[in-house]
Amino acid sequence: MLHKIINLTVRDVRFPTSVEQHGSDAMHTDPDYSAAYVVLDTDRGLRGFGLTFTLGKGTEIVVCAVEALAALVVGKSLQEIVSDFRGFYRLLTSDGQMRWLGPEKGVTHLATAAVLNAVWDLWARSEGKPLWKLLVDMVSHRKFRSKVCVQDVITISCSVCMQKEGYPAYTTSCAWLGYPDQQLKQLCTDALKSGWTKFKVKVGADLEDDIRRCRLIRQMIGPNNTLMIDANQRWDVAEAISWVSRLSEFKPLWIEEPTSPDDILGHAAISKALAPLGIGVATGEQCHNRVMFKQFLQASALQFVQIDSCRLGSVNENLAVLLMAHKFQVPVCPHAGGVGLCELVQHLILFDYICVSASLDSRMCEYVDHLHKHFTSPVVIQDAHYMPPKDPGYSCEMLEASVQKHQYPEGDVWKLQL
Ligand SMILES: C[C@H](O)[C@@H](O)CC(=O)C(=O)O
Ligand SMILES: [Mg+2]
Protein backbone atom coordinates (compact mmCIF):
# COMPACT_ATOMS: atom_id res chain seq x y z
CA MET A 1 0.00 0.00 0.00
CA LEU A 2 2.96 2.35 0.33
CA HIS A 3 2.96 2.92 -3.37
CA LYS A 4 3.70 6.57 -3.93
CA ILE A 5 2.27 8.01 -7.15
CA ILE A 6 5.15 9.71 -8.91
CA ASN A 7 3.68 10.46 -12.30
CA LEU A 8 0.37 10.77 -14.18
CA THR A 9 0.14 10.62 -17.94
CA VAL A 10 -3.00 11.14 -19.97
CA ARG A 11 -3.43 10.40 -23.65
CA ASP A 12 -6.07 11.19 -26.26
CA VAL A 13 -7.00 7.84 -27.80
CA ARG A 14 -9.61 7.76 -30.56
CA PHE A 15 -11.13 5.06 -32.72
CA PRO A 16 -12.69 5.99 -36.09
CA THR A 17 -15.96 4.15 -35.34
CA SER A 18 -18.00 6.78 -37.21
CA VAL A 19 -16.65 5.53 -40.54
CA GLU A 20 -18.88 2.45 -40.32
CA GLN A 21 -21.59 4.13 -38.24
CA HIS A 22 -20.86 2.01 -35.15
CA GLY A 23 -22.30 3.78 -32.14
CA SER A 24 -24.58 6.07 -34.17
CA ASP A 25 -27.82 7.30 -32.66
CA ALA A 26 -30.39 10.06 -33.15
CA MET A 27 -28.14 12.70 -31.58
CA HIS A 28 -24.64 11.38 -32.23
CA THR A 29 -24.57 10.67 -35.93
CA ASP A 30 -20.78 10.45 -36.34
CA PRO A 31 -19.35 9.19 -33.04
CA ASP A 32 -15.67 8.36 -32.86
CA TYR A 33 -15.41 6.32 -29.67
CA SER A 34 -12.59 7.80 -27.64
CA ALA A 35 -10.92 7.77 -24.26
CA ALA A 36 -8.86 10.06 -22.11
CA TYR A 37 -6.52 7.31 -20.98
CA VAL A 38 -4.67 7.74 -17.70
CA VAL A 39 -1.64 5.88 -16.37
CA LEU A 40 -0.39 6.35 -12.82
CA ASP A 41 3.23 5.39 -12.11
CA THR A 42 4.36 4.58 -8.61
CA ASP A 43 7.76 4.52 -6.96
CA ARG A 44 7.55 0.73 -6.61
CA GLY A 45 6.82 0.11 -10.26
CA LEU A 46 3.16 -0.82 -9.84
CA ARG A 47 0.94 1.09 -12.28
CA GLY A 48 -2.71 2.06 -12.27
CA PHE A 49 -4.74 2.40 -15.49
CA GLY A 50 -7.95 4.40 -15.88
CA LEU A 51 -9.99 6.06 -18.54
CA THR A 52 -13.07 8.02 -19.24
CA PHE A 53 -15.16 7.51 -22.34
CA THR A 54 -15.91 10.41 -24.64
CA LEU A 55 -16.35 11.16 -28.32
CA GLY A 56 -13.87 12.55 -30.85
CA LYS A 57 -12.75 16.15 -30.46
CA GLY A 58 -14.28 16.38 -26.98
CA THR A 59 -11.41 14.19 -25.79
CA GLU A 60 -8.99 17.12 -26.12
CA ILE A 61 -10.90 19.04 -23.47
CA VAL A 62 -11.13 16.09 -21.10
CA VAL A 63 -7.37 15.53 -21.46
CA CYS A 64 -6.76 19.17 -20.42
CA ALA A 65 -9.03 18.70 -17.40
CA VAL A 66 -7.16 15.53 -16.34
CA GLU A 67 -3.87 17.44 -16.65
CA ALA A 68 -5.32 20.12 -14.41
CA LEU A 69 -6.14 17.51 -11.75
CA ALA A 70 -2.75 15.76 -11.94
CA ALA A 71 -1.09 17.92 -9.29
CA LEU A 72 -3.69 16.77 -6.75
CA VAL A 73 -2.71 13.13 -7.27
CA VAL A 74 1.03 13.07 -7.92
CA GLY A 75 3.02 12.86 -4.70
CA LYS A 76 0.31 11.03 -2.76
CA SER A 77 0.63 7.44 -1.66
CA LEU A 78 -2.09 4.89 -2.31
CA GLN A 79 -2.36 4.42 1.47
CA GLU A 80 -2.89 8.13 2.00
CA ILE A 81 -5.66 8.18 -0.63
CA VAL A 82 -7.62 5.10 0.36
CA SER A 83 -7.43 5.72 4.10
CA ASP A 84 -9.52 8.84 3.47
CA PHE A 85 -11.02 8.16 0.06
CA ARG A 86 -13.95 10.48 0.75
CA GLY A 87 -11.52 13.32 1.47
CA PHE A 88 -9.60 12.55 -1.71
CA TYR A 89 -12.80 12.47 -3.76
CA ARG A 90 -13.67 15.88 -2.35
CA LEU A 91 -10.19 17.19 -3.07
CA LEU A 92 -10.65 16.35 -6.75
CA THR A 93 -14.23 17.58 -7.02
CA SER A 94 -14.01 20.68 -4.83
CA ASP A 95 -10.70 22.26 -5.76
CA GLY A 96 -11.19 25.99 -5.36
CA GLN A 97 -9.65 26.87 -8.71
CA MET A 98 -11.65 24.34 -10.71
CA ARG A 99 -14.91 23.72 -8.87
CA TRP A 100 -16.66 26.45 -10.81
CA LEU A 101 -16.43 24.31 -13.95
CA GLY A 102 -18.69 21.68 -12.39
CA PRO A 103 -19.29 21.04 -9.65
CA GLU A 104 -19.44 17.28 -10.17
CA LYS A 105 -20.68 17.46 -13.73
CA GLY A 106 -19.41 17.90 -17.26
CA VAL A 107 -15.80 17.77 -18.34
CA THR A 108 -14.22 18.05 -14.90
CA HIS A 109 -16.33 15.17 -13.64
CA LEU A 110 -15.38 12.99 -16.62
CA ALA A 111 -11.76 13.84 -15.79
CA THR A 112 -12.33 12.96 -12.14
CA ALA A 113 -13.69 9.59 -13.24
CA ALA A 114 -10.61 8.89 -15.37
CA VAL A 115 -8.25 9.68 -12.49
CA LEU A 116 -10.24 7.82 -9.84
CA ASN A 117 -10.73 4.81 -12.10
CA ALA A 118 -6.92 4.62 -12.30
CA VAL A 119 -6.62 4.91 -8.51
CA TRP A 120 -9.14 2.07 -7.99
CA ASP A 121 -7.28 0.00 -10.55
CA LEU A 122 -4.02 0.63 -8.68
CA TRP A 123 -5.63 -0.32 -5.38
CA ALA A 124 -7.09 -3.56 -6.75
CA ARG A 125 -3.76 -4.45 -8.36
CA SER A 126 -1.89 -3.75 -5.13
CA GLU A 127 -4.23 -6.26 -3.41
CA GLY A 128 -3.87 -8.76 -6.27
CA LYS A 129 -7.65 -8.86 -6.83
CA PRO A 130 -10.10 -7.91 -9.56
CA LEU A 131 -11.89 -4.76 -8.46
CA TRP A 132 -15.28 -6.45 -7.90
CA LYS A 133 -13.61 -8.86 -5.45
CA LEU A 134 -11.85 -6.03 -3.64
CA LEU A 135 -15.26 -4.39 -3.12
CA VAL A 136 -16.95 -7.63 -2.05
CA ASP A 137 -14.16 -8.32 0.46
CA MET A 138 -14.41 -4.79 1.82
CA VAL A 139 -18.07 -5.35 2.58
CA SER A 140 -17.38 -8.79 4.05
CA HIS A 141 -14.71 -7.31 6.29
CA ARG A 142 -17.10 -4.47 7.15
CA LYS A 143 -14.86 -1.75 5.84
CA PHE A 144 -17.92 -0.01 4.42
CA ARG A 145 -20.22 1.79 6.76
CA SER A 146 -23.45 2.75 5.12
CA LYS A 147 -26.85 3.98 6.17
CA VAL A 148 -28.39 1.42 3.86
CA CYS A 149 -27.65 -1.91 5.46
CA VAL A 150 -26.33 -4.32 2.86
CA GLN A 151 -24.46 -6.90 4.88
CA ASP A 152 -27.50 -9.10 5.42
CA VAL A 153 -27.86 -9.82 1.71
CA ILE A 154 -24.29 -10.88 1.10
CA THR A 155 -24.37 -14.51 0.19
CA ILE A 156 -21.68 -16.81 -0.95
CA SER A 157 -24.23 -18.36 -3.28
CA CYS A 158 -24.51 -15.08 -5.26
CA SER A 159 -20.79 -15.18 -5.85
CA VAL A 160 -20.86 -18.85 -6.83
CA CYS A 161 -23.77 -18.21 -9.21
CA MET A 162 -21.78 -15.47 -10.94
CA GLN A 163 -18.70 -17.69 -11.32
CA LYS A 164 -20.86 -20.39 -12.89
CA GLU A 165 -23.34 -18.49 -15.00
CA GLY A 166 -22.17 -14.91 -15.18
CA TYR A 167 -24.24 -11.74 -15.22
CA PRO A 168 -27.00 -11.44 -17.87
CA ALA A 169 -26.29 -9.04 -20.72
CA TYR A 170 -28.17 -7.42 -23.58
CA THR A 171 -26.74 -6.31 -26.89
CA THR A 172 -26.87 -2.92 -28.59
CA SER A 173 -24.56 -4.01 -31.41
CA CYS A 174 -27.25 -5.06 -33.90
CA ALA A 175 -29.17 -1.85 -34.39
CA TRP A 176 -27.17 1.37 -34.41
CA LEU A 177 -29.15 4.08 -36.17
CA GLY A 178 -26.85 4.36 -39.17
CA TYR A 179 -26.94 0.65 -40.05
CA PRO A 180 -28.93 -0.31 -43.16
CA ASP A 181 -31.71 -2.91 -42.78
CA GLN A 182 -29.66 -5.68 -44.38
CA GLN A 183 -26.92 -5.21 -41.78
CA LEU A 184 -29.51 -5.16 -38.99
CA LYS A 185 -30.90 -8.48 -40.19
CA GLN A 186 -27.50 -10.11 -40.51
CA LEU A 187 -26.33 -8.93 -37.09
CA CYS A 188 -29.58 -10.03 -35.50
CA THR A 189 -29.33 -13.49 -37.06
CA ASP A 190 -25.75 -13.84 -35.81
CA ALA A 191 -26.66 -12.59 -32.33
CA LEU A 192 -29.58 -15.01 -32.00
CA LYS A 193 -27.25 -17.85 -32.99
CA SER A 194 -24.81 -16.77 -30.26
CA GLY A 195 -27.52 -16.93 -27.61
CA TRP A 196 -28.58 -13.28 -27.28
CA THR A 197 -32.15 -12.80 -26.11
CA LYS A 198 -32.26 -9.07 -25.32
CA PHE A 199 -31.76 -6.38 -27.96
CA LYS A 200 -31.64 -2.58 -27.98
CA VAL A 201 -32.62 -0.54 -31.03
CA LYS A 202 -31.80 3.10 -31.67
CA VAL A 203 -34.78 5.29 -32.49
CA GLY A 204 -35.74 8.95 -32.58
CA ALA A 205 -34.72 10.46 -35.89
CA ASP A 206 -37.68 9.51 -38.08
CA LEU A 207 -40.88 7.82 -36.91
CA GLU A 208 -41.57 5.85 -40.07
CA ASP A 209 -38.00 4.53 -40.06
CA ASP A 210 -38.38 3.56 -36.41
CA ILE A 211 -41.60 1.67 -37.12
CA ARG A 212 -39.93 -0.21 -39.97
CA ARG A 213 -36.78 -1.02 -37.98
CA CYS A 214 -38.60 -2.06 -34.81
CA ARG A 215 -40.97 -4.25 -36.84
CA LEU A 216 -38.01 -5.88 -38.55
CA ILE A 217 -36.19 -6.56 -35.28
CA ARG A 218 -39.32 -7.79 -33.51
CA GLN A 219 -39.96 -10.20 -36.40
CA MET A 220 -36.37 -11.41 -36.22
CA ILE A 221 -36.27 -11.93 -32.44
CA GLY A 222 -39.83 -13.18 -31.99
CA PRO A 223 -42.40 -12.24 -29.35
CA ASN A 224 -40.62 -13.72 -26.34
CA ASN A 225 -37.23 -12.05 -26.57
CA THR A 226 -36.73 -8.61 -25.06
CA LEU A 227 -36.61 -5.36 -27.03
CA MET A 228 -35.51 -1.96 -25.70
CA ILE A 229 -35.46 1.35 -27.55
CA ASP A 230 -33.09 4.30 -27.08
CA ALA A 231 -33.75 7.85 -28.32
CA ASN A 232 -30.61 9.52 -26.90
CA GLN A 233 -32.51 12.63 -25.70
CA ARG A 234 -34.02 13.47 -29.06
CA TRP A 235 -37.56 14.54 -28.05
CA ASP A 236 -39.38 16.98 -25.86
CA VAL A 237 -41.79 15.50 -23.33
CA ALA A 238 -45.03 15.48 -25.33
CA GLU A 239 -43.25 14.24 -28.44
CA ALA A 240 -41.64 11.41 -26.46
CA ILE A 241 -45.01 10.24 -25.21
CA SER A 242 -46.71 10.27 -28.60
CA TRP A 243 -43.71 8.78 -30.47
CA VAL A 244 -43.21 5.93 -28.02
CA SER A 245 -46.96 5.26 -27.96
CA ARG A 246 -46.72 4.69 -31.71
CA LEU A 247 -43.90 2.18 -31.11
CA SER A 248 -45.72 0.41 -28.28
CA GLU A 249 -47.01 -2.32 -30.62
CA PHE A 250 -43.44 -3.67 -30.69
CA LYS A 251 -43.58 -4.16 -26.93
CA PRO A 252 -40.39 -2.40 -25.84
CA LEU A 253 -39.43 -2.99 -22.22
CA TRP A 254 -38.07 0.54 -21.91
CA ILE A 255 -37.55 3.79 -23.70
CA GLU A 256 -34.08 5.08 -22.91
CA GLU A 257 -33.20 8.77 -22.68
CA PRO A 258 -36.47 10.00 -24.19
CA THR A 259 -35.71 13.65 -23.48
CA SER A 260 -33.11 15.99 -21.96
CA PRO A 261 -31.11 14.04 -19.36
CA ASP A 262 -31.56 16.92 -16.90
CA ASP A 263 -35.35 17.04 -17.12
CA ILE A 264 -36.31 15.01 -14.06
CA LEU A 265 -39.95 16.08 -14.00
CA GLY A 266 -40.18 15.52 -17.75
CA HIS A 267 -38.99 11.94 -17.24
CA ALA A 268 -41.56 11.56 -14.46
CA ALA A 269 -44.33 12.71 -16.80
CA ILE A 270 -43.15 10.32 -19.52
CA SER A 271 -42.95 7.45 -17.01
CA LYS A 272 -46.48 8.11 -15.85
CA ALA A 273 -47.88 8.34 -19.38
CA LEU A 274 -46.15 5.17 -20.61
CA ALA A 275 -46.76 2.98 -17.55
CA PRO A 276 -50.20 1.84 -18.80
CA LEU A 277 -48.50 0.65 -22.01
CA GLY A 278 -46.08 -1.45 -19.97
CA ILE A 279 -43.09 0.63 -21.07
CA GLY A 280 -40.59 1.90 -18.49
CA VAL A 281 -38.13 4.78 -18.71
CA ALA A 282 -34.41 4.08 -18.49
CA THR A 283 -31.74 6.72 -18.12
CA GLY A 284 -28.32 7.41 -16.64
CA GLU A 285 -25.56 7.45 -19.24
CA GLN A 286 -25.67 11.25 -19.09
CA CYS A 287 -26.96 11.57 -15.53
CA HIS A 288 -24.05 13.49 -14.19
CA ASN A 289 -24.05 12.82 -10.47
CA ARG A 290 -25.61 11.03 -7.50
CA VAL A 291 -27.78 14.03 -6.61
CA MET A 292 -29.49 13.84 -10.00
CA PHE A 293 -30.05 10.12 -9.51
CA LYS A 294 -31.44 10.82 -6.05
CA GLN A 295 -34.05 13.13 -7.51
CA PHE A 296 -34.88 10.81 -10.42
CA LEU A 297 -35.56 8.11 -7.83
CA GLN A 298 -37.50 10.40 -5.50
CA ALA A 299 -39.68 11.60 -8.39
CA SER A 300 -40.34 8.07 -9.76
CA ALA A 301 -38.90 9.43 -13.00
CA LEU A 302 -37.11 6.23 -14.06
CA GLN A 303 -37.80 2.53 -13.83
CA PHE A 304 -34.28 1.37 -14.78
CA VAL A 305 -31.12 2.96 -13.38
CA GLN A 306 -28.29 3.08 -15.90
CA ILE A 307 -25.14 3.75 -13.94
CA ASP A 308 -22.06 4.69 -15.97
CA SER A 309 -18.53 3.93 -14.83
CA CYS A 310 -17.15 7.13 -16.35
CA ARG A 311 -20.01 9.66 -16.22
CA LEU A 312 -20.19 9.45 -12.42
CA GLY A 313 -17.19 10.04 -10.19
CA SER A 314 -15.84 6.51 -10.51
CA VAL A 315 -16.54 3.65 -8.10
CA ASN A 316 -17.06 6.07 -5.20
CA GLU A 317 -20.12 7.74 -6.65
CA ASN A 318 -21.44 4.63 -8.41
CA LEU A 319 -21.61 2.81 -5.07
CA ALA A 320 -23.82 5.57 -3.69
CA VAL A 321 -26.17 5.20 -6.66
CA LEU A 322 -26.29 1.40 -6.33
CA LEU A 323 -27.32 1.77 -2.70
CA MET A 324 -29.97 4.37 -3.50
CA ALA A 325 -31.39 2.21 -6.30
CA HIS A 326 -31.61 -0.65 -3.83
CA LYS A 327 -33.40 1.50 -1.30
CA PHE A 328 -35.95 2.57 -3.93
CA GLN A 329 -36.16 -0.99 -5.31
CA VAL A 330 -35.36 0.14 -8.85
CA PRO A 331 -33.28 -2.31 -10.92
CA VAL A 332 -29.83 -1.25 -12.10
CA CYS A 333 -29.05 -1.98 -15.78
CA PRO A 334 -25.70 -0.27 -16.44
CA HIS A 335 -24.73 1.65 -19.52
CA ALA A 336 -21.75 0.03 -21.23
CA GLY A 337 -20.25 -0.15 -24.68
CA GLY A 338 -18.22 2.85 -25.75
CA VAL A 339 -14.56 2.10 -25.30
CA GLY A 340 -13.76 0.27 -22.09
CA LEU A 341 -17.17 0.79 -20.47
CA CYS A 342 -18.01 -2.92 -20.58
CA GLU A 343 -14.61 -3.72 -19.08
CA LEU A 344 -15.20 -1.29 -16.23
CA VAL A 345 -18.87 -1.59 -15.38
CA GLN A 346 -18.90 -5.38 -15.18
CA HIS A 347 -17.09 -5.01 -11.84
CA LEU A 348 -19.77 -2.69 -10.46
CA ILE A 349 -22.72 -4.81 -11.50
CA LEU A 350 -21.13 -7.94 -10.05
CA PHE A 351 -20.71 -6.10 -6.78
CA ASP A 352 -24.32 -4.91 -7.00
CA TYR A 353 -25.58 -8.46 -7.36
CA ILE A 354 -23.30 -10.08 -4.79
CA CYS A 355 -23.52 -7.43 -2.08
CA VAL A 356 -26.50 -5.17 -2.69
CA SER A 357 -29.43 -6.42 -4.76
CA ALA A 358 -29.00 -10.21 -4.65
CA SER A 359 -31.52 -10.26 -7.48
CA LEU A 360 -31.45 -10.66 -11.25
CA ASP A 361 -35.08 -9.64 -11.68
CA SER A 362 -35.40 -7.12 -14.54
CA ARG A 363 -31.63 -6.72 -14.41
CA MET A 364 -29.10 -6.90 -17.23
CA CYS A 365 -25.94 -5.13 -18.27
CA GLU A 366 -25.45 -3.57 -21.69
CA TYR A 367 -22.91 -5.12 -24.04
CA VAL A 368 -21.50 -3.74 -27.27
CA ASP A 369 -19.20 -5.77 -29.40
CA HIS A 370 -16.55 -3.18 -30.24
CA LEU A 371 -12.93 -2.44 -29.34
CA HIS A 372 -12.41 -5.12 -26.68
CA LYS A 373 -9.32 -6.41 -28.47
CA HIS A 374 -7.48 -3.24 -27.43
CA PHE A 375 -7.52 -4.22 -23.73
CA THR A 376 -5.11 -6.46 -21.89
CA SER A 377 -8.01 -8.12 -19.98
CA PRO A 378 -11.00 -7.86 -22.28
CA VAL A 379 -14.49 -8.82 -21.12
CA VAL A 380 -15.45 -12.44 -21.42
CA ILE A 381 -19.00 -13.04 -22.68
CA GLN A 382 -20.42 -16.55 -22.57
CA ASP A 383 -23.91 -17.28 -23.77
CA ALA A 384 -24.92 -13.61 -23.43
CA HIS A 385 -23.54 -13.32 -19.90
CA TYR A 386 -20.57 -11.39 -18.51
CA MET A 387 -18.19 -13.82 -16.84
CA PRO A 388 -16.45 -12.40 -13.72
CA PRO A 389 -13.01 -10.99 -14.52
CA LYS A 390 -10.16 -12.79 -12.81
CA ASP A 391 -7.16 -10.54 -13.40
CA PRO A 392 -6.18 -8.02 -10.71
CA GLY A 393 -7.37 -4.47 -11.31
CA TYR A 394 -10.26 -2.67 -12.99
CA SER A 395 -9.76 -4.22 -16.48
CA CYS A 396 -9.09 -0.96 -18.32
CA GLU A 397 -5.42 -1.28 -19.21
CA MET A 398 -5.05 -0.89 -22.96
CA LEU A 399 -2.45 -2.59 -25.10
CA GLU A 400 0.38 -0.11 -25.58
CA ALA A 401 0.48 -0.89 -29.31
CA SER A 402 -3.23 -0.01 -29.59
CA VAL A 403 -2.74 3.24 -27.71
CA GLN A 404 0.13 4.26 -29.95
CA LYS A 405 -1.76 3.37 -33.09
CA HIS A 406 -4.91 5.29 -32.09
CA GLN A 407 -3.41 8.24 -30.26
CA TYR A 408 -4.75 11.44 -31.77
CA PRO A 409 -3.46 12.92 -34.04
CA GLU A 410 -0.09 11.18 -34.28
CA GLY A 411 -1.19 7.51 -34.31
CA ASP A 412 -0.98 5.59 -37.58
CA VAL A 413 -4.76 5.18 -37.75
CA TRP A 414 -5.22 8.96 -37.74
CA LYS A 415 -2.33 9.71 -40.07
CA LEU A 416 -4.23 7.65 -42.65
CA GLN A 417 -7.57 9.32 -41.97
CA LEU A 418 -6.46 12.95 -41.80
C1 LIG B 1 -22.95 7.63 -28.85
C2 LIG B 1 -23.13 6.31 -28.18
O3 LIG B 1 -22.88 5.29 -29.10
C4 LIG B 1 -24.54 6.14 -27.60
O5 LIG B 1 -25.47 5.97 -28.66
C6 LIG B 1 -24.54 4.95 -26.68
C7 LIG B 1 -25.84 4.67 -26.04
O8 LIG B 1 -26.75 5.46 -25.98
C9 LIG B 1 -26.03 3.36 -25.40
O10 LIG B 1 -25.15 2.51 -25.52
O11 LIG B 1 -27.06 3.20 -24.77
MG1 LIG C 1 -28.20 4.90 -24.47
Q: Output the DSSP codes for 72-107.
A: TTTT-BHHHHHHTHHHHHHHHH--TTTGGG-SSSHH
Distance in angstroms (rounded) separating the CA atoms of residues 85 and 122? 13
Task: State the pTM of this model.
Answer: 0.96
378 conformational bin, left if phi > 0, alpha if psi -120 to 50, beta if neither:
beta
Q: State residue 155's pLDDT score.
A: 60
**8 A C-beta contact, residue 418 and residue 409:** yes
- The DSSP letter of residue 397 is P
Measured from the CA of 257, which atom of ligand 1 is nearest?
8
Q: Do 20 and 61 fall within a single domain?
A: yes
pLDDT at residue 141, as a whole number = 78
**336 and 189 share a domain?**
yes
Using pLDDT thresholds of 50, 70 and 90, give the confidence band for residue 158. confident
Nearest alpha carbon, ligand 1 atom 11: 335
Q: Is the pLDDT of residue 154 over 60?
A: no
Looking at residue 81, its pLDDT comes to 98
51/39 Cα distance (integer angstroms): 9
What is the domain count for the chain?
2
Q: Is the CB of 261 under 6 A from ligand 1?
A: no
- Give the range of the structural domain holding residue 101, as residue numbers without chain letter: 5-129
**AA identity, residue 392:** P
Same domain for 205 and 111?
A: no
| Nearest ligand to residue 24 Cα | 1
CA of 255 to the centre of ligand 2 (A): 9
d(CA 370, CA 368): 6
Indicate if ligand 1 lies below 6 Å from the C-beta of 232.
Answer: yes
Is the pLDDT assigned to residue 142 strictly greater than 90? Answer: no
Please compute the mean of the pLDDT values over residues 12-35 and round it to a whole number.
98
Give yes or no for residue 252 CB within 6 A of ligand 1.
Answer: no
pLDDT above 80 for 136: yes
Q: 252-256 and 226-230: which strand pairing?
A: parallel
Calculate what percentage of the chain has a pLDDT beyond 90: 93
For ligand 1, say whether the CB of 284 is within 6 Å of any of its atoms: no
- Examine the pLDDT at 356 and tell me if it is beyond 70: yes
**Residue pair 173/370 in contact by the 8 Å Cβ criterion:** yes
CA of 25 to the centre of ligand 1 (A): 7
Please say if the pLDDT value at position 181 is more than 60.
yes
**What CATH number is given to the structural domain containing 88?**
3.30.390.10
Which neighbouring-strand residues pair with 228? 200
Question: Would you say residue 63 lies in a domain?
Answer: yes
Substitution site in 20, 170, 173, 230 for ligand 1 pocket (most atoms within 8 Å of beta carbon) = 230
| Band of pLDDT at residue 332, cut at 50, 70 and 90 | very high
Residues contacting 186, CB < 8 A, separation 6+ = none
Kindly state whether residues 113 and 27 are assigned to the same domain: yes
Q: Is the CB of 335 under 6 A from ligand 1?
A: yes
31 lines ligand 1 (CB under 6 A): yes
HSE, side-chain direction, 13 A CA sphere, residue 32: 20
Q: Looking at residues 238-246, what average pLDDT do you find?
A: 98
* DSSP string of 21-75, one letter each residue: TTT--SS-SS--EEEEEEEEEETTS-EEEEEEEEETTHHHHHHHHHHHHHTTTTT
Task: Decide: 201 and 175 in contact? Cβ < 8 Å.
Answer: yes
> Cα(46)–Cα(399) distance, rounded to whole angstroms?
16
Please indicate, yes or no, if residue 294 is contained in any of the structural domains. yes
The answer to whether 88 touches 77, Cβ cutoff 8 Å, is: no
**Stretch 123-133: mean pLDDT, rounded?**
98
- For residue 217, the SS3 value is helix
3-state DSSP helix/strand/coil % of the chain, to nearest 5:
45, 20, 35
Look at residue 295 and tell me whether its pLDDT is greater than 70. yes
Final residue in a domain of this structure, among 66, 98, 129: 129
147 pLDDT tier (thresholds 50, 70, 90): very low
Within this chain, do residues 209 and 316 fall inside the same structural domain, yes or no?
A: yes
Indicate which residue's Cα is closest to atom 3 of ligand 1: 23
